[in-house]
Amino acid sequence: MEAYDHHLDLKEDSSFRSRFRPEEFTMKLQKMWSDRLPASTTKEYVQVVQALNKREVLDEDVFFPIAEVLEFPMESKAFQMVFKHYGVKGGSTGFVLTHVLYFTMKNGTRMEMAIFFNDLNPEEEQKLEGWLDPFEAQVMFDASFRERVKF
């Protein structure tokens, strides 16, 4: 609930947003932070989002705040036309890039995906971040590409 409350504050409260100043996150601070982040695996993340995508495990009252944070793309009419639901969570510093998504399309296609990069330099992180959306779109909508990258 605390994450959900912060989500709402960042979304709606300009005074709360103004206290977050990205310029204060120096590369040295980002490196220390990255080195101390909790570790997990893409497999573990995919297991979590599979449960979210299938709408299993959690009661609706518990699921609601999670969906409010993760399924923000569904506020878009374009997403509503294609997806029953679509959730995404990413994170990055100059040295780490993580991106996890799940969706169920109106045609029934369901997918979960996790992408993790670690030990990057800031230039690599920026380049990968720029490639992320086109890569995801190709995985989502191009079956032959999806087969080539599947493992």
Following DSSP, what letter does each residue of 24-59 receive, concatenated? G--HHHHHHHHHHSPP--HHHHHHHHHHHHHT-SS-
For position 132, what pLDDT does the model report?
A: 93
Judged against a pLDDT cut of 70, whether residue 22 lies above it is answered with no
Look up the pTM and report it. 0.74
For position 20, what pLDDT does the model report?
A: 67
Between the two ends of the chain, the Cα-to-Cα distance in Å is 35
Residue 129 and residue 92 in contact, taking contact as beta carbons nearer than 8 Å: yes
Range of lowest pLDDT (17-26, 35-44, 96-105, 133-142): 17-26
Burial of 100 per CB tally in 10 Å (0-12, 13-18, 19+): buried
55-88: pLDDT as tens digits: 887 888 888 888 888 999 999 999 999 999 999 9
Judged against a pLDDT cut of 90, whether residue 130 lies above it is answered with yes
For position 23, what pLDDT does the model report?
A: 67
